[in-house]
Amino acid sequence: MRIKTIIASLAVAAVLTLWAGLAMAAEVAQGKCVSYNQDAKVIVIDEYDTNPTKQAPYGQPTGVQSTFDVSGAKIGIKPEPGDVLRIAFASEGSARKASKVMNVSKQDLRKK
């Protein structure tokens, strides 16, 4: 009887751990910065696809412009128009609330 209780407890703990991991998962978008309004805390990007090539190491433009609320986001190197950004976000209705903004193009330059 005691072994069954231990096994059941471990199973419940494993399921709760998996659910917590799913709750913390975020969607990710990558693309060229069109604008960054620090006062309004909004970033607009031209999204890229997920098929990098030698000519386009960050992917090809998709023609889709997306707007992100960055009021609560951690922002690394300050984004400027033309920079390639990777944004982790959560969709809340029609709004996209960013949690992290990474300036991929400037991070790559710092490695060299």
- Identify whether 88 is part of a domain: yes
User: In whole angstroms, what separates CA 106 from the centre of its chain?
Assistant: 17
**pLDDT tens-digit readout, 70-102:** 999 999 999 999 999 999 999 988 899 999 999
What mean pLDDT comes out for the span 41-61?
93
- CATH number, domain containing residue 47: 2.40.50.320
Total domain count for the chain?
1
What mean pLDDT comes out for the span 62-74?
95
Domain that holds residue 35: 23-106
pLDDT at 110 over 60: no
- Identify whether 29 is part of a domain: yes
pLDDT of residue 12: 74
